[in-house]
Structure 1
């Protein structure tokens, strides 16, 4: 096909390298982390009992671990923010 002839397929209408431009190293790492997270969640669906001082709560293990992660991120962000203001 010459550059001036009409294209016939949908694949021919895409600019060359579009897939390569979409799959940057950062996006590949993000996809791998997402896949690993989904595997982790689906493997940790059993119920667990958690006791914090007096109340006892029953929840899936992945929810408890996600809550712990969020608390850690909040505390780390707060301490980093406080340290950066000095």
Structure 2
């Protein structure tokens, strides 16, 4: 299953957490540059994780809109594997 992570810099702990929970294809967009807002969300994405610490606001709006159009769930989290794990525990249907 593909997950798109948008934002954040050092995300190795988040990638490890997602891999341990069944997400084997993990894509990361740093989303700091305005030019990144012209990227298209991959059709294969089944989950979007928006890391709010390091993110251009225009990119957050675009990704949220694109995900809604494709019916892909969006999670908002700080750049922290522990916070992401709390979100997953609260919404158990996201973990495989």
Compute the TM-score of the two structures, normalised by the length of structure 1: 0.22
Using CA pairs below 8 Å that are at least 6 residues apart, which structure has the higher relative contact order?
2
Q: Which has the higher helix share?
A: 1
Q: Which has the higher strand share?
A: 2
Larger-Rg structure? 1
Compute the TM-score of the two structures, normalised by the length of structure 2: 0.20
